[in-house]
Amino acid sequence: NAGVMQNPRHLVRRRGQEARLRCSPMKGHSHVYWYRQLPEEGLKFMVYLQKENIIDESGMPKERFSAEFPKEGPSILRIQQVVRGDSAAYFCASSPSEQGATEAFFGQGTRLTVV
Amino acid sequence: KQEVTQIPAALSVPEGENLVLNCSFTDSAIYNLQWFRQDPGKGLTSLLLIQSSQREQTSGRLNASLDKSSGRSTLYIAASQPGDSATYLCAVRGSQGNLIFGKGTKLSVKP
């Protein structure tokens, strides 16, 4: 059972371009969470998704950011018109179907650099 | 709004020492608390998960305790080794489902 897979591991984008970050949860997990980690800061929650549904996007910036978790395929975090301040490590976590009491497993992250 | 605080922010100890990392949270209505380890430039590795109904969990040289009523958890590391050097993160899961993280304690174990 492979762990949570994120790709790419490193992504460089010029200001104004789009960034697409992918996350494949562990097998059997239908809950996905995205977090952002800025240098020397803790992980900040962005969005919580189940298959085809956004459950909580309270941590997501209102503009330029979107996330999806389709019925088939990985979850995608999309950042449009990237700016230097978007440079960070983006982590994805997954949990099994039972919410609440279950353990979360994290991927290795995607390190986005905006130049 | 749930807030998680970890003290100290950084800790340096000689090899072989036992040490305690602290985590506190403001809202005691949690489902569970999870301790993670993060190495520089890497992802998070889950160390221990404590359910809200539990008082402690143990794995090898690690022991985590939870006092939900006072909003505190500790991670005890016995006989520390240089390989334990990393940032240790505490996170609580509330009713919303997502994890709320502290900023971590950066541990350095000197040979």
The tens digit of pLDDT for each residue in B16-59 reads 999 999 999 999 999 899 999 999 888 999 999 999 999 999 99
Give me the residue from B43, B97, B104 closest to A48, CB to CB.
B97
Q: Is B89 on the interface with A (CB under 8 A)?
A: yes
Residue closest to B40 by CA, chosen among A24, A76, A108: A108
CB contacts of A108 in chain B (<8 Å) are 42-43
Paired with A105 in beta bridges are A94
What's the gap in Å between the CA of B51 and the closest CA on chain A?
Answer: 7
Q: Is A99 on the interface with B (CB under 8 A)?
A: yes
Instruction: Write the pLDDT tens digit of every residue in A43-58.
Output: 999 999 998 899 999 9
CA angle B35, A2, A54 (to 5 degrees): 70
CB contacts of A107 in chain B (<8 Å) are 43
The tokens for A46 are: 């962005």
Mean pLDDT, range B82-94, rounded to an integer: 95
A91–B96 C-beta distance less than 8 A: no
Query: Residue A112 has what pLDDT?
Result: 97
Q: Is A104 on the interface with B (CB under 8 A)?
A: yes
Query: Residue B71 has what pLDDT?
Result: 96
- Which residues fall within 8 angstroms of residue B23, CB to CB, at 6 or more apart? B4, B5, B6, B33, B35, B72, B73, B74, B75, B90, B102
Beta strands B62-67; B72-77: pairing state: antiparallel
Mean pLDDT, range A85-101, rounded to an integer: 84
B99–A48 C-beta distance less than 8 A: no
Instruction: Write the pLDDT tens digit of every residue in B89-110.
Output: 999 998 777 899 999 999 999 9
Beta strands A110-114; A88-95: pairing state: antiparallel
A100 vs A92: CA distance, rounded Å: 17
